[in-house]
Structure 1
Amino acid sequence: MKNILIHGLGQNSKDWDTIKNELETREISPIVPDLFDLTKGRELDYPTVYQAFSEMSESYKDKLNLCGLSLGGLLALNYAIQYPKKINSLVLIGTPFEIPKGLLKFQNFVFKLIPKSAFQNMGVSKKDFIRLSKSMAELNFMESAATLDCPTLILCGAKDKTNMESAKRFHEAMKNSKLVIVEDSGHEVNKDNPRKLVSVLQDFWVDN
């Protein structure tokens, strides 16, 4: 079994370091890809990122435990829908069932005001980052997610009001799911409350 941790938009693989290191002390060795490294040299948009992630996932012969935050959750869900037999379990953290278009427009406006250097620290150019964000506008996996029967853990930070409704709707739609609200955390659970996330992940993966 392969355990894969997938970062969100605005993060990179290093944002999982605390989680990865702690899981390794518990004899769990996760794979932590950097989405922007996977797509290096290609024009960045959601289809390109998904294709690169899918190619990486297909390279593993084992079944997969996928754990994704936000964009990472969308990628994990997309892959599980397309290749359900490859999936052992899913963990969706702060994952929207659809992208709120008003919020997306506001975020993209804010992104345009942020210095280019801030994006370079994530390993992506400002232009590519904004193109990727815009390309996610029409994503909606709710109907397809309801067809999945793999064990699914749906996590949402207690302060992540934007994605709380999505978490509850995914839980209602996915018949083999469990919903956990993570206290003392906003959207980025992997950074806001890593200790709790490690504990929840370990228990879920051991049980499944």
Structure 2
Amino acid sequence: MVPVMDTALMVHGFAGTSGTWLPVTRLLEPKRYRAVIPDLRGHGQNSAVRPISFELCVDDLLAAAPPRFTIAGYSLGGRLALQAALKAPERIERLILISTTAGLEDPALRAQRLESDLLLAERLKRLAIGSFADQWLDGDLFRVDRPEVNLAARGEILKNRPGDLAAALSALSVGRMEPMWSRLGELAMPVDVVAGERDERYVEIAEQLAGSIGDAVLHVVPAGTHALPRSDPQALAAIL
């Protein structure tokens, strides 16, 4: 009898593509998992898909998956994975949240973040994609001190177009997102919350997430960065 494979729906972050997850999927047990890795609206092969909104992106994810599946989301993808789990909890076998948040509860902070993201989106429209990639990867949040890893990440960003990324950033800013902290207690499926040790702000958020979700398991990857699918694929594959 052929064993039934589990489906792992993997959701990339802002400015990534489905290729973000390739370092992880190469390490997964091939007979155990069938990886489904869609490009989000405004990214990769779905760069031109409009309109862009949280609700439509979540609907896309649910449409790409079978009736029951594991979902793993990184950064922006984690916020979307969380929303998918709250929208269709009966379909989620397991939820894995990586370097992500449940939103900003303070309205003033949301407004401030939205303003900042809209300014970045306007600047993005005027940049060549290569220039944006260099600036993005040189930021404290996404810097990985391994040239070969950064080269691969730059290649992923170059699969996108500046105007499309600007549209995605404007629509999917955490400043536009309804905070979900008050709903975390609804999650009854197994949940893993993951952050890199060097990503101190998100370690703190991960601790808050895990503490708010029943029996959630917290994983802090030693010496890990925010960009865990790139910097620490072995750790993520082991968690999966």
TM bracket (short chain): 0.7 to 0.9
Which residues in structure 2 correspond to 1:29-68 (within 5 Å)? 29-35=34-40, 36=43, 37-38=45-46, 40-57=48-65, 60-61=66-67, 63-68=68-73
Give 1:39 shift. 6.5
Residue type matched to 1:127 in 2? G
Corresponding residue of 1:117: 129
Answering whether residue 205 of structure 2 is matched by residue 169 of structure 1, we say no
1:93 aligns with 2:98: yes
Question: What does residue 17 of structure 1 align with?
Answer: 22
Is 1:6 aligned with 2:18?
no
The one-letter code matched in structure 1 to 2:165 is F
Question: Which ranges in structure 2 are unaligned for 5 or more consecutive residues?
Answer: 1-5, 133-155
Residues 146 and 188 of structure 1, relative CA distance in 2, 3 Å threshold: same
Tell me the CA shift for residue 24 of structure 1: 4.2
* Paired residue total: 198
Mean alpha-carbon deviation: is it higher for 42-51 or for 147-156?
A: 42-51
CA distance, structure 2, for counterparts of residue 6 and residue 44 of structure 1: 16
- Equivalent in 55, 58, 74 of residue 69 of structure 1: 74
Structure possessing the higher radius of gyration over alpha carbons: 2
Change in CA separation of 1:112 and 1:162 when aligned onto 2, cut-off 3 Å: farther
**Structure 1 residues 120-142: Cα deviation after superposition (integer angstroms, max 9, x where no partner):** 94544323322322333132111
Match of 1:206 in 2: none
Q: Which structure's relative contact order is higher, taking Cα pairs within 8 Å and 6+ residues apart? A: 2
Task: Give the TM-score, by structure 2 length.
Answer: 0.72
| Structure 1 length-normalised TM | 0.82
Aligned to 2:220: 181
Distance change in 2, residues 1:11/1:48 (3 Å)? same
CA distance in 1 between partners of 2:226 and 2:113 (Å): 15
Q: RMSD value over aligned CA atoms?
A: 2.4
